Structure 1
Amino acid sequence: MPVFIHVLGLAVFAQGTSEFMLSGLVPGIAHDLSVSVGAAASLTSAYAIGMVVGAPLMAALSARWPRRRALAAFLAAFVVVHVVGAVTTNFPVLFATRVVAAIVNAGFLAVAMSVATALAQPARQTRATAVLLSGVTLSCVVGVPAGALLGGWSGWRAAFWAVAALCLPALTLVFRSAPADAARPRDVSIREEARALRSRPVRSTLLQAALVNGATFATYAYLAVIATDVARLPYGAVPGLLAAFGAGAFVGVTAAGRVGDGRLGRGLVRALCALPVGWAALAITGACAGPLFVLAVVQGGLSFGVGSALVARVMRVASHAPSLSGAFATVALNVGAFLGPLLAGVATGAADDYRGAAWVSAGLAAAATAITVTAASRARTRARARTQEQPL
């Protein structure tokens, strides 16, 4: 595995920390800038919207740039907007920095995915994608709790400064160690790539990725209140529960990178079939601390492992769209991350039970499983038809 892919993983770790750390900084931001808690919490939605809009837009705009220039420009812009966010005393300016940060984050991730798959050998492209996504999972396990602690000790601005500082080594390494192949421009036809993305396998896999990530974040957003209000655990147990979920996610992504190949194989189908069962089990047993912790680890591993495998599959089936495939995979994941908690909020409000979020996750995962089983069945039918057509 080329060392430069791990450099990209470091940058993704810093960006993932920025994306998720807001949940622990909302009270401090609301107090310091004299805005409501709801207004401060909207910074999270601003980031999600920026990711959805920014991924295809930035991928298209930077398609003809040398890869080194694109990666460095996006990462440098990410550093600058965090410095601006750290010093501003104006909430609209802070809101704008979150949107811009998300747009350049999406652009960086889209380019990084295409570079990682181009640098890796064909048999290791899934692992290369997993290295990038492991940066996101590590940010959940390490970066977000560290940001929350730093924000508690030194204020929310310190967390913004820390993210900017964390990006600097990656930015330096991008300038110094980006391989020549990653810096050479390509003749890119965005129109042809867009046509390639309209194929049934690509659309099906993007939908699956959105559903699986929606299922993941529908429950993840409510995991803390399930622990405190349903399982009656002390608030001090919440970081441990979130860390357990994140540790499972890291193991899942790592395992998917080692055994996945971007195909719709039996392992992926079985993992997808297990997902809705696990979410339903969490909904049923979520009032008990032991099963809650165990299922947090299991579902974290399955969810992020399957999600990583689906992203690798998008890159495989959309090989004729190397610039846009990573961008649309990013869009699918973030659409799921945005809509999943919204659906969970409707369900928990209607049932007056936070375990309704896990039932939403089970339903979304079941929909993804149905699509997968149907696609696998079609693939087997086509394979049998080709076998029968061959002359004896």
Structure 2
Amino acid sequence: MPAVVYVLGLGIFAMTTSEFMVAGMLPELASGLGVSISAIGYLVSAYAVAMAVGGPVVSAALARASRSRSLMLLLATFLAGQVLGAVATGYPMLVGSRLITGAAEAAFFGVGLTVAINAVEPRLAGRAASVVLGGLMLSSVLGLPLATLLAQWSGWRGAFWAVAGLVLVAGLAVLAAVRRPIRSVSGTAPAARDGLHSELVLFRNRQLWAVYLTSMLHIGALFAAFSYFAAIFTEVTGLASELVPVVLTGYGVAAVLGNVIVGRLADRYPMAVLTVGLGALVVLLVSFALGAGQPAAALVAVAGIGLVGLPLNSATIVRRMRVVANTPMINTVGASVVNVGIAVGPLLGGLAISAGLGLTAPLWIGAALAALGLLSLLPYLRRGASPVAAGQANQTAAVHDPVCTPST
């Protein structure tokens, strides 16, 4: 695997640590800025909106820039937004910081995945995607807990500055990697010089929107449940509150392991992986809902959800590549769709709780969304994710697309 793939994973690790860190320092931020806990919670929503809406806008603005220049501009923008958050003198400045970093992260996901996948043989696309997405998995296992500890020891500003330093290190590593010409061996993306129009044409493909729909339902199902895990563990399962971080860490470790496994299988069997994974997610969420009062059953279900939840993203990316070309805008919109799922799933779970259906209601909501995701695959299972459309789209692509060559 080329070094640039791992370096891009480091960039994603730094960015998603920044994304998640707010959730781990709600009390410190609320006290430091003199606002309510709920106001700080809105920062999470602001970040998701910035990724969903701002990401494609930023990606469109960079459509004619070289991949290397785009990556560096996005990292520099993200770093500026992170520093703005560290020096924020009030709540509005922090909101602005999160909007900047959210939009930059979504676009970086799009360009980064394009570069990583183009840097490997087509048969290794899923594995390359899993390495890049591994940064996301590790940020929940390592990044978030470390940022939370830093916020408790040195204040929330210290945590923001530490993550800014991590982003700077990642930026320097990416700069070193992309300054070396890297041959695009997959030939799956139109060259950057073709501009925005060549990418927008790809959105006419109906199968692409089917991929996006399944992705949204999958992520919505996962986060409808995950957002309420802590409350279920303490209020229904009966776990001590100090054990919740341990269980969530175990969930994160399972996700890292699942990401490695899915990344290897997705290259050859993307539709089978998605079908089995979504089916397993339905069974695991139903099992958790029925056995939430039994610690052993709950822990087994959570470990299984970790294995087949987020890791399915690698299979989604491979399926998407076999439908249309691999481009920054296609991947950025994919990240936006994921954030729609992240917003919709917890909202539906919260509405179910507010309706008096109990704390396990989000688990049933998640199971229903996962079942819908499974049903959305049925029209495409017989034909599979044919590479024909992608092959037609790639006929005009450059064999040596300069995705990582130095900008001139």
TM-score normalised by the chain length of structure 2: 0.89
Question: Which residue of the partner structure matches residue 158 of structure 1?
Answer: 158
Partner SS state of residue 73, structure 1: helix
- Aligned amino acid, residue 32 of structure 2: D
* 2:306 alignment partner, one of 288, 294, 300: 300
Name 1:341's counterpart in structure 2. Answer: 346
Structural mapping, 1:1-392, within 5 Å = 1-178=1-178, 179-181=180-182, 186-261=192-267, 264-319=270-325, 322-377=327-382, 379=384
AA partner of residue 360 (structure 1): I
Q: CA deviation at 1:111?
A: 0.6
Contact 1:230 1:286 in 2 (8 A): yes
Whether contact under 8 Å (2:51, 2:105) holds in the other structure is yes
Q: How far apart are 1:182 and its partner, in Å?
A: 7.8
Q: CA deviation at 1:306?
A: 1.7
Measured against aligned partners, the alpha-carbon deviations of 1:129-160 in whole angstroms (never above 9, x if no partner) come to: 11111111110111111111111111111111
**Cα gap change, 1:147 to 1:250, in 2 (>3 Å):** same
Q: SS at 2:192's partner residue?
A: coil
How far did residue 323 of structure 1 move?
A: 2.6
My pick for the range that moved more, 92-101 or 308-317, is 308-317
Distance in 2, matches of 1:276 and 1:351, equals: 23
Q: How far apart, in 1, do the equivalents of 2:288 and 2:300 lie?
A: 9
Matched residues in 2 for 1:255 and 1:231: separation?
A: 29
* CA distance 1:222–1:93, shift in 2 (3 Å): same
8 Å contact 1:75–1:171 — kept in the other structure? yes
- Cα offset, 1:329, TM superposition: 1.0
TM-score for the superposition, normalised by structure 1: 0.93
Distance in 2, matches of 1:329 and 1:312, equals 12
From the superposition, tell whether residues 121 and 235 of structure 1 become closer, same or farther in structure 2 (CA, over 3 Å). same
Structure with the bigger percentage of helix: 1
| 1:136 counterpart SS class | helix
**Counterpart in 2 of 1:387?**
none
For residues 64 and 74 of structure 1, what CA distance do their matches in structure 2 show?
14
Q: For structure 2, which runs of at least 5 residues remain unmatched after alignment?
A: 185-189, 386-408
The residue number in structure 2 matching 1:385 is none
Tell me how far 1:264 sits from its aligned partner: 4.4
Deviation at 1:379, TM superposition (A): 4.6
Give the aligned residue type for 1:372.
L
Does the aligned pair in 2 maintain the 1:250–1:304 contact within 8 Å? no
Deviation at 1:60, TM superposition (A): 1.3
Answer whether contact 1:106 1:330 (CA < 8 A) is retained. yes
Q: How far apart are residue 215 of structure 1 and its match?
A: 0.9
Compared with structure 1, are the counterparts of its residues 264 and 175 closer, same or farther at alpha carbon in structure 2 (3 Å cutoff)?
closer
Return the alpha-carbon distance in structure 1 between the equivalents of residues 36 and 150 of structure 2: 22
The answer (yes or no) to whether the contact 1:244–1:293 under 8 Å persists in 2 is no
Would you say the 8 A contact 1:213–1:333 is kept in 2?
yes
Letter in 2 for 1:269: T
- RMSD in angstroms over aligned alpha carbons? 2.0
Could you tell me whether the CA contact under 8 Å between 2:273 and 2:315 is conserved in 1? no
